[in-house]
Chains A and B, each alone.
Chain A
Amino acid sequence: MSGETLIQARGLNAFYGRAQALFGVSLEVRRGEVVALLGRNGAGKSTTLKALMGLVPPRAGEVRIAGTAVRGWAPYRICRQGLGYVPEERRIFAGLTVLENLEVGRRPPREAVPAWTPQRLFELFPNLGRMRERPGGAMSGGEQQMLTIARTLMGNPLAVLLDEPSEGLAPVIVAEMARVVRELKAEGLTVLLSEQNLRFAAGITDRAYVMEQGAIRHEGQMAQLLQDEALHARYLAV
């Protein structure tokens, strides 16, 4: 299970304007792992993912993707390095059809990873296959969430950042989402996902980091974390 380290962050500091949002965030995700980033609203989960992706460029610290230092790179180069990003707000191209949305995400195949095609993705997301020509703006929230993930997979990433994949979705769709993440894990994909929904995260992840006020406060196996009532009360309970 413990392969090479695909995502590595050390001492990340990030700012919005003058306000500091991340304080020395360090984390590590190894090949094939599914890791959760937990924490309340405003804890800094999304900012951490954006900092890794170069969308909020960290002002200090180090980011390595598959061993290469990428801090300061533009997001498109980090993407080409092998990191995929699925934003919290989905950001589907509303005027583009499902197939066109996938086309935007398409990147050349990578050695050692089977390439994603729309065909393979429609097997993973059967309902998307039934609306290939539908504009993204005319899809339900759940369908859009599936489409953003599919769109990112078209880039054949080595690792994917999923920002709150279960947010705002009906329970059936959340279950569907859990199935998708499990299948991706079975395919060998590496995932770092941010979550507030502990039950959802517990079902699909091996390890977790817990954040509060822009810093990592706790790190451990998911199974242990689930039993630690004090930890819940401090960092996770609403």
Chain B
Amino acid sequence: MTFADLLVQLVNGLAQASTLFLLASGLSLIFGVTRVVNFAHGSFTMVGLYAAIAMAERLGGAAGFWLALPLAALAVGVLGAVAEMLILRRVYQAPELFQLLATFGLVLVLKDAALWLWGPEDIFGPRAPGLSGSVELAGLAVPAWDLFLIALAPLLLLALEALLARTRWGVLVRAATEDRHMVGALGVNQAWLFTGVFALGSALAGLAGALQMPREPASLGLDLVTVTDAFVVVVIGGLGSLRGAFLAAALVGVVKTLCFALGGVEMGGTTFNFSKLTLVVEFLLMALTLVLRPWGLAGRAPAAAQESPALVEWVRVPGVRFAAGAGAALLAAAALPLLADEYAVVLATDIAVFALFAVSLHFLMGPGGMAPFGHAAFFGVGAYAAGLLAQAAWPMAAALLAAPLAAAAAGLAVGWFCVRLSGVYLAMLTLAFAQIAWSVAFQWDDVTGGSNGLVGIRPAPWAADKAHFYWLVLVFGGTALALLWRVLQSPFGFALRAARDNPRRAQALGIDARRVQWLAFPAAAAAAGLAGALFAYSKGSLSPEAMGIARSVDGLVMVLLGGLHTLAGPVAGAALFTWLQDEIIRRTDYWRLILGAVILLLVIAFPRGVVGGLRHAWKERS
């Protein structure tokens, strides 16, 4: 690569950075004031791009293109305001994770809305009239649109800063970012402030989307890619800081394109292919930031008054009666193959696998009080470990024992970093690790099969029959459940809950809170890894999706559906979720819309989860 090539790449990287900044500034503003980590931010960008293309075509001509940019931003701003008023306003009092889940419901709904409006095919937008060519810069041909984008970012930063510094609204936004409850006590109606901030942030996301018209086609996959990029930038920059987001966007944009530009580099005899790092490098940067400077490059530790309510105040740790009940339920479940057809048995196998996954996640969330957002990493490590061992001709039983160990090792490593953080920061760090694991699976073709994944993961002959495999899952899953339950009743389980409820008092009791929370990770990871291994054998093949964001979110939905307060909750949640998903997918193409709507309704109606909510309603009555 020549120096000139590098320069061209650098311009490309900065143009990307500019878009990242637009995305991140909106997300950061919204988080700063409302404390909501808005997963739907990328969806707003996606809608912005679709809407801009549609408007540019409808209006036609050069004027149409330029008018479409602000109009699309405006439309998305209105959409954001409506979403805030209808949905988020109802969940501000809930723990962070519930809000995250509500916004994820919004993601699903918006994706299917876009599918319905604009169809499944990618749609190419018009090129920018007047800026479609390239500009001669130091002897190089640089796309004019890229230069336009690069110029736009600093202007926007200045405009936003002026808005925050010089208007009453901006002062209120900054005050609310520090201490929104105090702002309320001073007579400011937070509801409108929040709606306004949401509208502005969404409009910025919409604008970021609209500005991609000449650069990339509108596609339904944009939402999650975009929002993870935005998360990364916001976390690196410091939640709630515009300047931090600006710096971080430049850093991520440039480092990403540099990795791409460097390509294969000879290092100590072996070739290291940097371009393979493009997917993972931003998450490496984010993990590094969270470990070294937890509040980001320019962020500040949140004021105590700003902290959101605890994930869960209590978890009923059941006694022997529960164990007896669980055993009876397990026996009843074991009778299923005698009564139902193969389809039901396969579905029940899925349910059992995901119940184990959900229980392992609940172990960290309920008794542990932590909110991991990348739990699928452990599921995936277990699944891939089993898959690779199966390919290496290990017997299934050995692979099923080794896979949880591999996942536990991953849990030990990830947990060590994660327990140094809390709240959203912990959630984001686990997300970073999960994405790193995902990109390794996705890009390490030689070992993991890359995007094709692994195939031919066959159960041992004695377990090949669907019913036999189902029983196997029940035995392994039941054993893992029993072990986790024992752990919760042990002094370790007590220490874990003490560390969650009151770290300082736990310390006074001689409990090393951080260490206890750390060790909860490998325990939960082992169970998740076992679920992953069983999943791999039940499906016979594996793809990186096994540890994608969607899998992590599925787990959260299951746990929150069931409720955090009981151990039976995640099992019920997993059953309900898996069954619902199966039912809906069979009936309609718009299953996301329905699932998303169900999530939204549940979060709004049952902030304690279904089992917890019903139990509470029942107690209130009696």
> Which residue numbers of A lie inside 8 Å of B, CB to CB?
17, 53, 55, 74-76, 79-80, 85, 87, 89, 91, 93-96, 100-101, 103-107, 151-152, 155
Contact = CB atoms under 8 A, between A and B. Distances in A.
22 contacts: A53-B185, A55-B181, A55-B185, A74-B189, A75-B181, A75-B184, A75-B185, A76-B187, A79-B184, A79-B186, A85-B185, A91-B179, A93-B178, A93-B179, A96-B171, A96-B174, A100-B171, A104-B171, A104-B186, A151-B186, A155-B186, A155-B187
A91 B305 contact: yes
Given A17-B313, A76-B190, A91-B305, A104 B185 contact: no
B305 A104 contact: no
Contacts of B184: 74-76, 79
Contact of B171 (A80, A87, A103, A152): A103
Give 6 nearest A-B pairs by CB, closest first: A79-B187, A104-B175, A75-B185, A91-B182, A93-B175, A75-B184
Nearest to B182: A91
B168 interface: yes
B188 interface: yes
Given A104-B171, A155-B186, 5 more contacts: A17-B313, A75-B181, A75-B185, A91-B179, A105-B187
A96 B588 CA distance: 53
A103 B190 contact: no
Contact of B185 (A87, A95, A96, A107): A87
B172 interface: yes
A16 B525 CA distance: 35
Contacts of A79: 184-187
B440 interface: no
B183 interface: yes
Nearest to A103: B171
A134 to B, nearest CB: 15
Contacts of B305: 89, 91
A96 to B, nearest CB: 6
Nearest to B189: A76
Contacts of B182: 87, 91, 93
The prevalent SS among residues of B at the interface is helix
A164 B175 CA distance: 23
A155 B168 CA distance: 15
Contacts of A89: 305
Q: Which of B181, B184, B186 counts the most A-chain CB atoms under 10 A from its CB?
A: B186
A107 B187 contact: yes
B187 A94 contact: no
B262 to A, nearest CB: 40
Nearest to A17: B313
A213 B188 CA distance: 33
A75 B179 CA distance: 14
A55 B185 CA distance: 8
B186 A94 contact: no
Contacts of B183: 104
Among B168, B181, B184, B313: residue with most chain A CB under 10 A: B184
Contact of A76 (B178, B179, B185): B185
Most buried by B among A17, A85, A94, A100: A100
Interface in B131-186: 168, 171-172, 174-175, 178-179, 181-186
A59 B172 CA distance: 30
A105 B186 contact: yes
Nearest to B170: A100
A96 B181 CA distance: 16
B178 A95 contact: yes
Nearest to A94: B178
Contact of B188 (A76, A94, A101): A76
A100 B174 CA distance: 10
A113 to B, nearest CB: 15
Contacts of A95: 174, 178
Q: Which of A53, A79, A80 has the most CB of B within 10 A?
A: A79
Interface in B379-423: none
A94 B300 CA distance: 11
A107 B187 CA distance: 8
Contacts of B178: 93-96
Residue of A93, A94, A96, A152 contacting most chain B CB atoms (<10 Å): A93
Contacts of A85: 185
Contacts of B171: 96, 100, 103-104
A135 to B, nearest CB: 11
Contacts of B190: 76
B49 to A, nearest CB: 34
Contacts of B187: 76, 79-80, 105, 107, 155
Nearest to B187: A79
Contacts of A87: 182, 185
Contacts of A106: 168
Interface string B550-583: 0000000000000000000000000000000000
A1 B178 CA distance: 40
Contacts of A107: 187
A105 B168 CA distance: 11
B213 to A, nearest CB: 37
A103 to B, nearest CB: 5
A43 B174 CA distance: 34
Contacts of B189: 74, 76
A76 B192 CA distance: 12
Among B172, B184, B187, B313, max chain A CB count under 10 A is at B187
- Max chain A Cβ within 10 angstroms of own Cβ: one of B185, B186, B305: B185
A30 to B, nearest CB: 23
A76 B518 CA distance: 42
A160 B223 CA distance: 49
B315 to A, nearest CB: 15
A103 B174 CA distance: 12
A230 to B, nearest CB: 36
Nearest to A89: B305
B419 to A, nearest CB: 25
Pick from A17, A89, A91, A104 the residue with the most CB of B within 10 Å. A104
Contacts of A76: 184-190
Nearest to A86: B185
